[in-house]
Structure 1
Amino acid sequence: MIKHIDTMLKLWAEDLHSEVPEGAGGGNMIAMLIETKGELIRGTRGSRVLLDESADIELIVNKHLPPQLSLVVREHYCNHDSFLSQKYTHCGCSRDTYYQRLHQAHECIAELLLGKKAA
């Protein structure tokens, strides 16, 4: 795994995919933008990832990663209710393959984020 991508994905999951009390945007990017009147500000829960960066990661995970990599990312970072063995079973792979896919996802995300910053 790539450490800084791992950190960003943890914060992305916290920003956009965690349970939060009502009135705090519900973890939904659109709701948070409405709540802040469209102003992109630092995450409402003390996040170190800017909301626009979280939106970039959301787009990458949803649209640009192959489905098997996207599934592993969502299971690893957004599913806090399952044990590791349940996560890789849900992904239809072994533990080793699960971590290989997670590393591939980190590489893809890093490359796509770097490409966006370079453009």
Structure 2
Amino acid sequence: MIKRIDEMLKLWAEELHSERAATEFGGGNMIAMLMACKGELIRGTRGSRVLLDESADIELIVNKHLPAQLTVVVREHYCNHDSLLSQKITYCGCSRKAYYERLHEAHECIASLLMAKAA
């Protein structure tokens, strides 16, 4: 895994896909969140190091640009806090090794797409 991408994905999940986000920002809906913030990009709460625009970029990448099996692994790993690792792996339909290989591949894809956007 790529440490910086791992940190960004943890913060993305917290900002857009947590229970706190559901109550404060309209269920993780980007439009509802922008409306709640009156269109201003502000730093996330609790000392977040990922700006909301980066969270929006990650949301777009995960939803539109990752292959389906990588999207499932990312969502399970970062957004599903109620399941055990073994349950997450079973849901993804792969072995433990394949689960972490897919997660690493997703990190590489996200990193390259974020770099391409920055260029």
TM-score (norm 1): 0.93
Which residues of 2 match residues 53-68 of structure 1 at below 5 A?
Answer: 53-68=54-69
Aligned to 1:75: 76
The alpha carbon displacement at 1:30 in A equals 1.9
Q: What is the CA deviation profile of residues 87-118 of structure 1, one whole-angstrom value per residue up to 9, with x for unaligned ones? A: 01000000000000000000000000000001
Deviates more, 1:59-68 or 1:24-33: 24-33
Aligned to 2:48: 47
| 1:113 aligns to 2:114 (yes or no) | yes
Q: What is the CA deviation profile of residues 16-35 of structure 1, one whole-angstrom value per residue up to 9, with x for unaligned ones? A: 00001776214332222111
Q: What is the CA deviation profile of residues 16-66 of structure 1, one whole-angstrom value per residue up to 9, with x for unaligned ones? A: 000017762143322221111111111134321000000000000000000
Aligned to 1:4: 4
Do 1:17 and 1:28's aligned partners in 2 also have CA atoms closer than 8 Å? no
Q: Structure 1 residues 90, 111: CA separation in 2 closer, same or farther (over 3 Å shift)?
A: same
3-state SS of 2:19 partner: coil
**One-letter code aligned to 2:24:** A
**One-letter code aligned to 1:81:** D
For structure 2, the residue ranges without an aligned partner over 5 or more in a row are: none
Q: Structure 1 residues 46, 93: CA separation in 2 closer, same or farther (over 3 Å shift)?
A: same
Q: Structure 1 residues 99, 24: CA separation in 2 closer, same or farther (over 3 Å shift)?
A: same
Do 1:65 and 1:108's aligned partners in 2 also have CA atoms closer than 8 Å? yes
Report the RMSD for the aligned CA atoms in angstroms.
Answer: 1.4
Do 1:42 and 1:49's aligned partners in 2 also have CA atoms closer than 8 Å? yes
3-state SS of 1:40 partner: coil
